[in-house]
Amino acid sequence: MAQALILDSEAINALAAPRARGVLTLRARAIARVAYERGAFLRVPAAVLAEVCKGARFDAAIHHLLNRDAILVADITRQIAQRAGALLARANMSSTNAVDAFVVATALEYDSAVIATGDAKDLKRLSAPFNQLSLMSL
């Protein structure tokens, strides 16, 4: 059974900028460590990069984190994009929540997944119908 840990923008920022994120970094590291030890795939949906990348001058920590082999960027396929749109419609949410929908749609690519998030409220609405998904707040 393929399991995954899906990282949202707050989780990526916490892992990339430990000095700025304090306790969130400790939680994100602990969650990632347990997932890695259990053999889960660690993924960040490509759409999340739109929220965390601010330009070459500011992105060194993000690039350093993503250049490791442990965390891979998950491409947004047509199937994932269409699923994200359907999730937004089901939850009666607007496209302002598109990145959150991409996070959930990516998680649904796996048999089971945990989403590490700093935005549990919106992700809970999007993931509520799916028993194979769980949220872990930072």
Residue 131 CA to residue 41 CA, distance in Å, equals 19
Give the tens place of pLDDT for each residue, 9-36.
999 999 998 877 788 888 998 998 899 8
Task: Decide: residue 5, CB within 10 A, 0-12 exposed, 13-18 middle, 19+ buried.
Answer: buried
Q: What residue segments make up the domains of the chain, in order of their start?
A: 3-137
| CATH number of the structural domain 3-137 | 3.40.50.1010
Q: Residue holding tokens 């949410």?
A: 93
Determine the average pLDDT of the residues in 108-130.
Answer: 94
Helix axes 98-107, 78-90, angle to 10 degrees: 120
Q: Residue holding tokens 């739109």?
A: 50
Residue 4 CA to residue 7 CA, distance in Å, equals 10
- pTM for the model: 0.93
**Quick one: pLDDT at residue 119?**
81
Q: Is the pLDDT of residue 43 over 70?
A: yes
